[in-house]
Amino acid sequence: MQVEIKNSRINCYQCMRPSCSCICKHINPIQTKTRFIILMHPKEYKREKNGTGHMTKLQLENSEIIVGIDFTNNKRVNEILNDEKNSSFLLYPGKENFNLSLRKSSEIISFMGNNPYIFLLDGTWPCARKMLKLSKNLQQLKRVSFDNKIKSKFIFKQQPAPLCLSTIESVYTLLNLLKEGDLEYCETKDFLIPFEKMIDYQLEYILNPNNKNYSSTANKEIITKNKYKINPQRSIVFEQERK
């Protein structure tokens, strides 16, 4: 199911969403020790209606967005990587990666240090893979991952696998693991509110019989979610195998 609001201009340049579904009033940024670097695919930047990169940035005081595909010669990325004070990591799925869900607090702290920089690839799953394939500097980064136990609420964004998470859900999961590891002390309970509000807006939109995307089967599709598995297109960054 494709939920595209045709011809609707982006009106809010904060959250990059149409003004009718602007989520800025639900933004409540938190301070973290970890710095989050959101590497955003240009395609994702343009169709932020369904993306969560911008809202993730708005929710995190200590974060930034860098747009690109190949970051090998990206000045800002290299500035971060070349600064010896920083310890940088890439959040990326993979069995060999440092798995935050399985490690003890002391192991996490000795692996990551006190003020890690975490790079996230924000784009569809094929885009994220391509970004990493092209970016030689990012390939050198130590990788962290986690066992994804929460099921994405992002029902409007087709995911390549049922347990794929949006960028904001990935950061939320990561922050909670860093809290368990005594690396973060921030309050995360309201972190996903803008994301939940965005879903509410989208639900309202497709369930409204007055709009042209209305489908009487919408409810059923939303619950079963089966379609998303066969359409690998609009998805995001984090994927973990089902156990």
**Which residues sit at the interface with Zn ion, rule CB under 5 A?**
12, 14-15, 22, 24
Work out how close the CB of 210 gets to Zn ion at its nearest, in angstroms, rounded to a whole number.
Answer: 24
CB of 26 vs Zn ion, minimal distance in Å: 9
Distances (CA, A) of 174 to 163, 179, 193: 15, 9, 17
Q: Give the Cα separation of 221 and 102 in Å (integer).
A: 34
Residue 186 CB, nearest approach to Zn ion (Å):
22
Cβ 15 to Zn ion, closest distance in Å? 3
What 8-state DSSP symbol labels residue 160?
S
| Shortest distance in whole angstroms from residue 25 CB to Zn ion | 8
CB 162 within 8 A of CB 225: yes
**Least Å distance between CB 57 and Zn ion?**
12
- Which CB, 14 or 139, lies closer to Zn ion? 14
Rounded to whole angstroms, the Cα distance separating 226 from 243 reads: 19
- Report the C-alpha gap between 229 and 129 in whole angstroms: 18
Residue nearest to Zn ion (CB): 12
Buried b (16+ CB within 10 A) or exposed e, 90-111: bbbbeeebbbbeebeeeebbeb
E-assigned strands of the chain?
35-40, 63-67, 87-91, 98-99, 116-122, 142-145
Residue closer to Zn ion by CB (options 195, 228) is 195
Nearest distance from residue 7's CB to Zn ion, in Å? 19
Q: Between residues 21 and 176, which has the closer beta carbon with respect to Zn ion?
A: 21
Give the residue with the Cβ less far from Zn ion, 14 or 31: 14
Q: State the DSSP code for 9.
A: P
Question: Phi, psi (5° rounding) for residue 157?
Answer: -115, 115
* CB-nearer residue toward Zn ion: 70 or 196: 196
Burial class (CB in 10 A: 0-12, 13-18, 19+), 242: exposed
Of 56 and 74, the one with the shorter C-beta distance to Zn ion is 56
**Residue for token pair 């089902």:** 242
Nearer to Zn ion, 22 or 120 (CB): 22
